[in-house]
Amino acid sequence: LVYPAGFLYLYSALKYVAGGDGSDIVMAQILFGVLYVANIGVVLSLYMIVGRRMVDSVDEILTDAPVRMTSNERSHRLVVSHVVWTWRVAMCICCLSKRIHSIFVLRLFNDAPAMFLCYLSMVFFVSNKWRIGCLFYSLGVSIKMNVLLFAPGLLLLLLQSSDNLVETIICLGICAVVQLILGAPFLLTFPVSYLRKAFELDRVFFYEWTVNWKFLPEDIFVSKPLSIGLLLCHIGFLVLFAIKWLRSAKDQTGSYLFLCNNPTNTSTRNKNQLTPEYIIQTMFLSNFIGIVFARTLHYQFYSWYFYSVPFMLMFTLMKRHTKLMVVIMIEFAFNTFPAMAKSSAVLQMAHVTLLSGVLLAGVPQILYVKSMKQD
């Protein structure tokens, strides 16, 4: 078993539905087609939540302007319209990738259901339902361990989303319990073998399938120094962005962690919550740092971060044509088969451009005050 236990349960069920022996490929593809549509729906809902907040924020700023004249009102409408259509274009891009269509509907990779559960968990996170979100997040990890790339960002969010450490421990406990329950048959029989293979961190990949490092000679690609160097860069950039995020939290809220208060019961109360844009950007960035410094990327790995690219670009200071070029470069690389030195170089340039853009941009607004009324 080279994947976590959830993979075995899911694909055993899929085999049963697909003719009992997995021979009915068409039925399996239909189910993955439904999964693809559901995944698009979940991703677009995240975009809509943040897009509406951006529109409301711009509208509020312009409405509060001290001078209001007819020309200003027209400018107001144009600015709001620009923001609306910018987010609509970003959402349209999420529906246009040829490679993503293939990964979901034709190839039936486990990357697809794993990422669906991860995105679904983020819907609960932005709704301030962290325990339920952690449940679905851990289910995603149980299908494929790449979802762990989101873990550093999630840990920071858990530490900031409440006013004490207890809630964070409870959420982490939920994640752990899910893994223990699903993996129990294997943990109780061959625990070392299961953990080593299902969560294999030192796996050596085949050079012929790499999409991101084809411009390197094969002997360098499989070398230990490259692996260690990428790991150190991964950790280093996680620390770098964590410092940037924590400093921003201090500047915006006066604290680094435990930012959200839990008020006592009253008929009307206000509660600080992490903004949806901050939650999603933190999760996406945590994952993307792992992508940039990945030991290798295969074609199906595109599903790990494709939907996050337009979102992260929205929070950079790049010009529109530069943002579009980043999307085109990444799509070009993943649609070049077999991968070549040129396509890998193009992909890495796009990755570095996006990561630099996020580094140079500001951190999204962290908190907003939500009015809550008791039933």
The per-residue pLDDT for 66 is 56
Per DSSP, helices labelled H in 188-215 are 191-198
Q: What is the mean pLDDT of the chain?
A: 89
pLDDT digits (tens, 9 = 90+) for 148-207: 999 999 999 999 998 889 999 999 999 999 999 999 999 999 888 888 888 777 777 888
- Give me the mean pLDDT over the 2-21 stretch: 91
Task: Please state, in angstroms and rounded to a whole number, the distance separating the CA atoms of residues 270 and 34.
Answer: 39
How many CA atoms lie less than 13 Å away from 273 in the CB half-sphere?
Answer: 18
Question: How far are the Cα atoms of 17, 175, 273, 370 from residue 167, in angstroms, in the given order?
Answer: 39, 13, 14, 19
**CB–CB of 4/144 below 8 Å?**
yes
pLDDT digits (tens, 9 = 90+) for 57-70: 776 666 665 544 44
Identity of the amino acid at 333: A
Query: DSSP string covering 302-355, please?
Result: GGGTTTHHHHHHHTS---HHHHHHHHHHHHHHHTSSS--HHHHHHHHHHHHHHH
How many CA atoms lie less than 13 Å away from 25 in the CB half-sphere?
Answer: 5
Q: Is the pLDDT of residue 72 over 70?
A: no
**CB–CB of 75/58 below 8 Å?**
no
Of the ranges 168-182, 199-213, 225-239, 269-283, which one carries the lowest mean pLDDT score?
199-213
Beta carbons within 8 Å of 224's beta carbon, 6+ residues apart:
none
- Give me the mean pLDDT over the 105-111 stretch: 88
Backbone angles phi, psi at 270, to 5 degrees: -110, 140
179: closest CA among 169, 200, 194?
Answer: 194
Give percent of the chain with pLDDT exceeding 90. Answer: 72
Within 10 angstroms of residue 278's Cβ, the number of other Cβ atoms is 25
- Give me the mean pLDDT over the 205-216 stretch: 92
DSSP 207: G
* Angle between helix 25-63 and 70-93 (nearest 10): 160
- Encoded tokens for 312: 């992260």
Task: Please state, in angstroms and rounded to a whole number, the distance separating the CA atoms of residues 279 and 119.
Answer: 12
**CB–CB of 144/3 below 8 Å?**
yes
Overall pTM surpassing 0.85 (yes/no): yes
